[in-house]
Every structure is written in structure tokens, then in C-alpha cells.
């Protein structure tokens, strides 16, 4: 038996062969790393493939199954703490496993089985969830293949369980502290966004009231069918100047008239007009819907309308996968109900769809149609018609024009409400606007700006951040430039090359702009803060750029930088050696400098600086200390527009 194994366990343990021990360690490492990535995703750390916003991982984490009831503790934390404890205990008994340890592992496998069934039934295609549970199953099978033994009364047989409990508790406490700190940061940011939005919404409501001349028309609270009532209300007529301007801008909009959905829940003329772009299988959409629906029950000054943006490539050409498998059919069912049953039919189906989380079987749909009084054959024919598809796709195009990149997207009186994931954001925003006593009007003057303006607004609204210092800066342009662009990227990542090309094209010949590129190779060989390895040659490329700077100064760095950005596919040591000679470098000296500790320290410093700024994905672009949340849009050079705005600010 192995010398270091606990003496009390010797009689009742089975010796593992070295390959079996290594296999067990490997399975646990797989589960440990996968659950760690899920936990990092919960904290909003670096986004790994498949775990970004609106991803299956995010959907699973936000679902009922993603947190432990009552204590609201993320399941990802529970999994990581469990695997860390089992890993620590397993390393302490390489001579075999106790039967008590085997029982704990079996219980863990049973829990994994339950979660796998949830993933299968609910359709959460969360890759890292599946991998972590698969690793757990594999470890359980390995343990079960050892000879079954009777439970021993020896205290030593319980020591692995004590280790599990100790490590589990320590990891849980650590995660809890980080969770508390991160939650405070996130909540604070959401509240800032919500507050800033409300300032804009209230200001816009006052501007519209000033541009409108009131007159009296029949209006009031809608009945159950969403139609307008008959109480007299004050409603504006648009000023002719505003009308002309609106018509001129309206030629570019994908909708005509005011911005609203096809069906209203509430009065046609209302002080507060709520429009939600939604997806019936989106978890946050359901939460926002529940908050809004509860609020509407107690108010008569709010109208609600809906537009669709299903996260499913079956009907959404702007979304590359079928993340929500039934979202298209759910949206088409809602529109079919509206076509056949008007306001009343639409809203009954709308609420029913959210109650069913946007997913339904043929039997459930048949029962729902019977309850709502629809003829099934007629409904199915309408739902599968070109008309419902055209309506959905029209809404999708509007969402794209508005710069939508997540659902729900909420507008109040034509102005986007940000910070909507803050607690009770929509009801709180409505109450705050109502307290300002806005004028009741139709949607005619509600005209949200296009995505290009939204992207600039998002940059301007980003909090000002202090850029961490760079001890090895390679700056293109004047150091005292009024416009400072800093980008974190990876020489092997296509979007980094694309953004770099746009930036260099914009700043060429502009004496008031400087550009600094900072390293964030997605490769753990030189980047200690990335949780994933994605680009095997990323470190070599980053080392080449930094070494070129060491040998050739700023000019040498930017020569190498430009070549690397244009040579992603053919990059390798041989190509680098040949290119270096063409740039005037001694290849031997360059390759030696690439291994210098100064180069490694410069890369690590850049990586940590990016994470300090909250880097979630690359490229991360900062302009004058503000993050650029979105920098590319087809047919529109967003970066150029943001830089122009920054220049205008500097000239004021």
C-alpha cells in the first residue's frame, strides 16, 4: 500500500493503479475548470465561447434551476465548491478510496443526473454545464469500478469527508465574499444607468409637451381587449416644425408613424407609453413582463405594446443560431392570435406564452386555443402563414435599426430605458415619470434614434475609467493628444485586426489623436488572467511585437504590429523570421528578445490592466477613458463617429 495513505483505511480500501489515479484526477480537473468558468461568467469575468450575454450558459444560470431556492445561491458556485472539495480529498488518498467517500461521489453523480435531465428537458444547451456533469459521471464510474467494501468504523475513513467539507466551506465563503462585492458593483452600475435613463426620459417628455398644442379627444383606459375607452383626455397636436423634421427623419426609419407595437394594452392616449422588444423564451424578458403586468393592474396612465425579436435563426437572419428553439413559433402564435382575435386575442396569447415560457406541445397549444375560443385549424393556418413571418421579421429589422443586442429592450415614451435588470426597474421608472405629471399623448412623437446614434450615446454614457499605467508604452501619435484611443486585443483574433484597421484608417494624418495597442492574447501560456486557451500562436505574436519594440523602439514596434495584424493566417516562426529580416531586424536577436523577461512582464501587465477595466471580450476599445460598448455596424463606421464626437467635446 502507498506509505502516506491513512492507516485506518488500509483494510477497507482498494488500491488504484497509477493510470486510474491519473484518470480520476483528469476527470475532476475537467469538472473543476468547467464549473470555474461558469462561476467566472456569473461574476461577469472574461466571456468565454458560449457563455456571453443571452448564451445558453447565461440562460441556464438565470433560470429557476440556476440558483438554490430561498438562499439564491448560484448552482455554479455549489458545483465549483463541491468539485474543489472532492479534488482535495481525492489527492489525499492515492492508495484507494473509502466507502464513505464513494457514497458522497455517488450522491454527486445522482445530482448531476438530475441536472442533465433538466438541461435535456428545458433545452439549455450549456456546453460547460454538460462538460462539468460529464466529468463528474466519468469520475463516479471510475470510483464504482473499484471493489465494493463495507463501511469501516475507523475515524480515518471519515477524514476525506472532513476535507471535502472544509474545502467546500472555504471555497463557498470566498465565492460569497466575491459575490457580495460584485453584486454591489453591478447594482450600483445598474442604478446609475437607470437614473441616467430617467433623466433623459423625463427631459424628452417635457420637450414633447412643449412642442405640442393640447386639444381634447375621446380616450381613456382600454378595456380587456385593449381598445380605447371614452373618457375625455388631453392629447397634443404636433407642431408643424416638429412634424416636418419628423417626416424628414422618418424616411430612414423602418416604421411609419409613431414607435409602437401593433396591439395596445391600455389607452391609445397615455402619459406613459411603454414598448418592449421581447422574446418569449428569454428569462429576463419574462421577469420584465411579470413586473410590467403587475404594475399595469394598478395603473390607468400607462399603455403597453410589444415587438418581437426571437433569438432564433429560423426567423431571425441577424441571429446565427437557434438559441431559443421555439421562440419564432411563439412569436408567430401571438401574431396569429392578434390577426384572428384583435387586441383581446393577442394579449391573451401573449400572457399565455410567457406563462408557458414560450414553449408548448401540440396538446398544450390545442388546450389553449380551445380556452381562448380559436378554431385550431384556422389558427394553425394563420400561424404558419407568410403574414405572421413578415410581421416578426419587420419587428426584427426595427430592433436591428435601433441597435438591439439583447432582449428585452425597453422604451418609455420613445426613449430607451437602461439598467432594466435592476430590481423592479420598469415599475420604478414608470412611477418616477408619473410623478413628473407628463402630458397624455399618442405615440406620434415617440421616435427612438437609430443604432448609430445609440452607439455614440452608449459610449458617452459609459463611466469614465482610469486607464491602468503602461510601463512599456508604444504610442502612435502625440502623447499629449486630445483624443486618446487604447485597444486591448489579440494578434490572432480577427475582430482585433478589423478594429485595428478601422482605427489606423481614421487617425491617419490626425495630429490630435493617439493610439496605443495593449496585449491580451487569449492563451494561458503568457496570459495569467484568461480562463481559456483559444489562440495557440497568440503569445508568440504578442512576444514578437513587444520584442520588436525593445529592439527598434516605437517605430520598430509599429512595423511589427502592422505585419502581425495583416498576417494572422500565415503567422508562424518561419514567416516571422523572414518578415523580421525584411523589417531590418536580426531574426536571431528578435527571437532571443522574445524570450526576455521584460517582454513577458509587459504582456502580463497589459493583460492585468485589461481585466482591471472589466474586460469581458476582445477587442476592448477605450476612447478618452470611456469604453466603446459596440464598435461595428454594417455600413456605418461607428468608431469614426465616436472619435468625431470626442473631438467635438475636446474643442468645446
The grid coordinates listed for 76 are: 455554479
Sheet containing 415-417: order of strands? 264-265, 302-308, 272-278, 409-412, 415-417
550 and 625 part of one domain: yes
My answer on whether 435 and 492 are in the same domain is no
CA distance 648 to 99: 72
Q: To 10 degrees, the CA torsion angle through 623, 625, 629, 633?
A: -10
- Domain at 113, CATH number: 1.20.1440
Distance CA 80, CA 37 (A): 9
DSSP codes, 564-626: HHT-TTT-SHHHHHHHHHHTT--HHHHHHHHTSHHHHHHHHHHHHHHHHTT--SS-EEEETTE
- The reply to whether 472 and 438 lie within a common domain is no
Q: CB-based contacts of 168: which residues, under 8 Å, 6+ apart?
A: 81, 82, 84, 85
Q: Which three cell numbers stand for residue 209?
A: 409637451
Sign of the alpha-carbon dihedral angle for 55, 57, 58, 64: positive
Q: Which of 234, 243, 233, 255 is nearest to 211 (CA)?
A: 243
pLDDT for position 41: 67
Question: Quick check: bond before 310 cis, omega within 30?
Answer: no
Q: Is residue 245 part of a domain?
A: no
Give burial (CB, 10 Å; 0-12/13-18/19+) of 181.
exposed
Rounded CA Rg of the chain: 29
Residue 258, φ and ψ in degrees, nearest 5: -75, 165
Residue 206 lies in a domain: no
pLDDT attached to residue 155: 45
* 629 within a domain of the structure (yes/no): yes
Measure the CA angle with vertex 431, ends 425 and 435; round to 5°: 145
Give me the pLDDT at residue 557, please. 97
Please indicate, yes or no, whether residues 328 and 181 belong to a single structural domain of this protein.
no
Mean pLDDT per 10-residue run, the chain (652 residues)? 38 52 84 82 55 61 68 80 88 71 87 83 75 87 65 57 87 83 80 90 90 47 37 32 30 85 94 96 92 90 96 88 89 97 96 93 93 95 97 95 90 94 93 95 92 86 90 90 95 95 89 94 92 90 97 96 96 95 95 96 95 89 93 80 86 75
Instruction: Clarify whether residues 370 and 226 are in a common domain.
Output: yes
Whole-number Å distance between alpha carbons of 619 and 499: 8
Show the cell assigned to 201.
426620459
Please report, to the nearest 10 degrees, the dihedral formed by the alpha carbons of residues 249, 250, 254, 259 taken in order: 110
Last residue of some domain: 450, 479, 507?
450
Q: Are residues 523 and 500 in the same domain?
A: yes
Q: Is residue 338 part of a domain?
A: yes
Return the half-sphere exposure (C-beta side, CA atoms, 13 A cut-off) of residue 113.
Answer: 9
Q: How many domains does the chain divide into? A: 3
DSSP state of 482: S
Whether 248 is covered by a domain: the verdict is no
Q: How many CB atoms neighbour CB 147 within 10 A? A: 8
Q: Give the global pTM.
A: 0.68
How is residue 401 written as a grid cell? 435599426
Say whether the peptide bond before residue 85 is cis (omega within 30 degrees of 0): no
Of how many residues is the chain composed? 652
**Which one, of 470, 448, 590, 456, lies nearest residue 518 by Cα?**
470
Q: Is 570 exposed, middle or buried (0-12, 13-18, 19+ CB in 10 A)?
A: exposed
Residue 145 lies in a domain: yes
Q: Tell me, yes or no, whether 521 and 619 share the same domain.
A: yes
Beta-carbon neighbour count of residue 204 at 10 Å?
A: 17
- Choose the final residue of a domain: 144, 164, 185: 185
**Residue 458 Cα distances to 356, 403, 424, 628, 631, angstroms:** 34, 10, 22, 7, 10
**Which residues have a Cβ under 8 Å from the Cβ of 267 and sit 6 or more positions away?**
219, 220, 221, 222, 228, 229, 233, 300, 301, 303, 440
**In terms of domains, do 169 and 295 share one?**
no
Mark whether 414 and 552 lie in a shared domain: no
| pLDDT for the residue numbered 74 | 81
Helix axes 638-651, 451-461, angle to 10 degrees: 50
Residues 388, 522, single domain; the answer is no
Record the cell numbers describing residue 350, joined without a space.
401573449
Residues spanned by the domain of 354: 214-234+256-450
> C-alpha distances in angstroms, 643 versus 369, 476, 624, 627, 631?
54, 16, 9, 12, 11
Task: Output the pLDDT for position 141.
Answer: 85
Sign of CA dihedral 9, 13, 18, 21: negative
Q: Is residue 487 part of a domain?
A: yes
Whether residue 64 lies inside any domain: the answer is: yes
Q: What is the pLDDT of residue 442?
A: 93
Region of 96 on the Ramachandran plot (φ > 0 left; ψ -120 to 50 alpha; else beta): left
Q: Are both 551 and 416 inside the same structural domain?
A: no
Is 222 within 8 Å of 267 (Cβ atoms)? yes
Is 399 within 8 Å of 409 (Cβ atoms)?
Answer: yes
Residue finishing a domain among 418, 450, 482:
450
Clarify whether residues 421 and 472 are in a common domain.
no
Alpha-carbon distances of 624 from 462, 466, 488, 514, 608, rounded to whole Å: 11, 10, 14, 10, 20
Q: What is residue 443's predicted lDDT score, i.e. its pLDDT? A: 93
Instruction: Residue 599: give its domain's CATH number.
Output: 3.40.30.10
Amino acid at each position: 500500500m502507498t506509505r502516506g495513505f491513512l492507516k485506518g483505511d488500509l483494510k477497507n480500501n482498494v488500491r488504484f493503479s497509477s493510470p486510474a489515479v491519473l484518470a480520476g484526477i483528469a476527470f475532476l480537473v475537467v469538472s473543476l475548470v468547467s464549473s470555474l468558468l461558469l462561476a467566472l461568467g456569473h461574476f461577469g469575468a472574461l466571456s468565454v465561447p458560449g457563455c456571453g450575454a443571452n448564451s445558453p450558459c447565461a440562460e441556464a444560470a438565470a433560470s429557476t434551476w440556476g440558483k438554490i431556492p430561498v438562499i439564491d445561491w448560484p448552482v455554479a458556485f455549489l458545483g465549483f465548491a463541491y468539485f474543489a472539495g472532492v479534488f482535495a480529498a481525492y489527492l489525499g488518498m492515492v492508495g484507494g478510496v473509502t466507502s464513505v467517500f464513494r457514497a458522497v461521489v455517488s450522491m454527486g453523480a445522482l445530482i448531476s443526473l438530475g441536472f442533465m435531465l433538466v438541461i435535456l428537458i428545458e433545452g439549455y444547451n450549456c456546453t460547460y454545464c454538460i462538460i462539468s456533469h460529464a466529468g463528474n459521471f466519468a469520475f463516479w464510474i471510475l470510483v464504482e469500478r473499484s471493489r465494493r467494501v463495507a463501511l469501516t468504523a475507523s475515524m480515518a475513513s471519515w477524514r476525506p469527508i472532513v476535507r471535502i467539507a472544509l474545502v467546500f466551506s472555504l471555497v463557498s465563503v470566498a465565492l460569497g465574499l466575491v459575490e457580495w462585492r460584485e453584486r454591489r458593483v453591478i447594482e450600483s452600475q445598474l442604478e446609475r444607468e437607470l437614473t441616467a435613463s430617467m433623466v433623459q426620459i423625463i427631459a424628452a417628455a417635457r420637450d414633447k409637451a412643449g412642442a405640442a398644442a393640447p386639444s381634447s379627444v375621446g380616450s381613456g383606459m382600454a378595456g380587456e381587449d385593449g381598445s380605447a375607452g371614452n373618457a375625455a383626455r388631453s392629447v397634443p397636436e404636433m407642431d408643424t416644425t416638429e412634424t416636418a423634421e419628423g417626416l424628414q427623419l422618418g424616411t430612414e426609419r423602418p416604421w411609419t408613424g409613431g414607435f409602437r407595437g401593433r396591439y395596445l394594452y391600455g389607452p391609445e392616449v397615455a402619459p406613459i407609453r411603454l414598448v418592449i422588444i421581447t422574446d418569449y423564451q428569454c428569462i429576463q424578458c419574462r421577469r420584465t413582463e411579470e413586473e410590467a403586468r403587475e404594475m399595469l393592474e394598478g395603473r390607468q396612465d400607462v399603455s403597453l405594446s410589444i415587438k418581437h425579436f426571437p433569438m432564433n435563426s429560423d426567423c431571425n437572419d441577424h441571429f446565427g443560431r437557434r438559441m431559443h428553439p421555439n421562440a419564432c413559433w411563439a412569436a408567430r402564435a401571438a401574431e396569429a392570435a392578434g390577426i384572428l382575435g384583435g387586441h383581446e386575442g393577442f394579449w391573451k396569447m401573449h400572457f399565455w406564452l410567457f406563462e408557458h415560457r414560450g414553449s408548448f406541445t401540440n396538446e398544450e397549444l390545442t388546450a389553449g386555443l380551445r380556452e381562448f375560443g380559436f378554431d385550431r385549424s384556422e389558427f394553425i393556418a394563420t400561424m404558419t402563414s407568410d403574414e405572421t413571418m413578415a410581421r416578426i421579421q419587420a419587428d426584427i429589422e426595427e430592433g436591428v435599426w435601433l441597435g438591439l443586442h439583447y432582449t428585452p429592450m425597453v422604451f418609455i415614451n420613445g426613449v430607451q430605458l437602461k439598467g432594466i435588470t435592476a430590481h423592479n426597474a420598469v415599475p420604478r421608472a414608470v412611477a418616477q415619470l408619473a410623478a413628473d405629471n407628463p402630458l397624455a399623448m399618442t405615440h406620434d412623437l415617440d421616435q427612438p434614434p437609430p443604432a448609430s446614434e445609440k452607439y455614440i450615446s452608449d459610449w458617452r454614457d459609459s463611466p469614465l475609467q482610469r486607464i491602468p499605467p503602461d510601463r512599456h508604452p508604444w504610442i502612435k501619435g502625440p502623447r499629449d493628444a486630445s483624443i486618446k484611443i487604447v485597444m486591448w486585443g489579440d494578434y490572432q483574433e480577427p475582430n482585433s485586426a478589423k478594429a485595428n484597421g478601422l482605427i489606423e484608417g481614421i487617425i491617419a494624418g490626425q495630429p490630435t489623436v493617439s493610439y496605443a495597442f495593449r496585449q491580451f492574447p487569449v492563451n494561458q501560456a503568457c496570459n495569467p488572467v484568461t480562463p481559456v486557451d483559444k489562440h495557440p500562436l497568440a503569445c508568440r505574436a504578442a512576444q514578437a511585437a513587444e520584442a520588436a519594440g525593445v529592439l527598434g523602439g516605437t517605430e520598430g514596434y509599429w512595423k511589427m504590429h502592422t505585419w502581425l495584424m495583416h498576417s494572422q493566417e500565415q503567422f508562424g516562426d518561419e514567416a516571422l523570421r523572414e518578415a523580421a529580416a525584411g523589417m531590418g531586424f536580426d531574426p536571431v536577436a528578435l527571437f532571443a528578445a522574445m524570450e526576455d523577461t521584460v517582454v513577458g512582464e509587459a504582456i502580463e501587465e497589459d493583460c492585468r490592466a485589461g481585466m482591471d477595466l472589466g474586460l469581458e471580450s476582445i477587442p476592448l476599445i477605450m476612447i478618452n477613458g470611456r469604453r466603446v460598448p459596440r464598435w461595428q455596424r454594417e455600413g456605418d463606421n461607428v468608431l469614426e463617429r465616436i472619435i468625431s464626437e470626442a473631438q467635438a467635446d475636446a474643442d468645446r
